[in-house]
Amino acid sequence: MNPFIAALWVIVAILLVSPFGVFTLAQESLNAGTEPQVMPVSYMWITFAPQILFGGLVGVLGLLFWHAAQWQRNRAKQPPPS
């Protein structure tokens, strides 16, 4: 087990889950009518949530291709069945 790949899986999982929570929190703060200083931060989170989600999806695809390449390389090293 490669610890760097395991860490990448954790980061990708965070990237996939966090936009939903961030979007919900930002939406609640915008609807609550809080002080004006909070509103630009809420708009910033709403703006970046789709990009964070897209980064997580790209990360999943990249890791799946990496695992497929590793599997193919390991399979090529095995002797052919006789």
pLDDT digits (tens, 9 = 90+) for 18-69: 988 888 877 777 677 666 665 677 777 788 889 999 999 999 999 999 999 9
For residue 82, the SS3 value is: coil
- Is 82 a member of any domain? no
- Is 47 a member of any domain? yes
Domain count, the chain: 1
pLDDT at residue 34, rounded to an integer:
61
Report, in this order, helix, strand and coil percent for the chain, each rounded to 5.
Answer: 85, 0, 15
| Domain of residue 41, residue span | 3-77
Buried b (16+ CB within 10 A) or exposed e, 26-49: beebeeeeeeeeeeeebeebbeeb
Give first-to-last CA distance, the chain, whole Å.
30
